[in-house]
Amino acid sequence: MGVSVPRIKLGSQGLEVSKQGLGCMGMSASYGLPKPDHEMIHLIHHAINSGVTFLDTSDAYGPHTNEFLIGKALKGGLREKVQIASKFGIVRKDGVREICGDPEYVRSACEASLKRLDVDYIDLYYVHRIDTRVPIEVTMGELKKLVEEGKIKYVGLSEASASTIRRAHAVHPITAIQNEWSLWSRDLEQELVPTCRELGIGIVTYSPLGRGFFSVGPALIQNLPENDFRKQFPRFKAENLEINKVVYEMISEIATRKGCTPSQLALAWVHHQGDDVCPIPGTTKIDNFNENIGALAVKLTPEEMTELSALADMVNGERHAFMASTWINSDTPPLSKGCTPSQLALAWVHHQGDDVCPIPGTTKIDNFNENIGALAVKLTPEEMTELSALADMVNGERHAFMASTWINSDTPPLSSWKVDT
Task: Point out the residues that are catalytic.
Answer: 61
DSSP calls for 304-331: HHHHHHHHHTT--S-S-TTGGGSGGG--
Give the Cα separation of 37 and 43 in Å (integer): 10
The three-point CA angle 200-204-205 to 5° equals: 135
H-helix or E-strand containing 54? strand 54-56
Q: Please name every residue paired with 282 in a beta bridge, in sequence order, or none if there are none.
A: 23
Nearest to 14 by CA among 155, 140, 212, 181: 155
The burial of 312, by beta-carbon neighbours within 10 Å (0-12 exposed, 13-18 middle, 19 or more buried), is given as middle
DSSP calls for 237-262: SHHHHHHHHHHHHHHHHHHHHHTS-H
Whole-Å CA distances, 339 to 346, 370, 377: 11, 9, 7
- Report the half-sphere exposure of 308 (CA within 13 A, side-chain side): 30
Give the Cα separation of 374 and 368 in Å (integer): 10
Amino acid symbol at 363: T
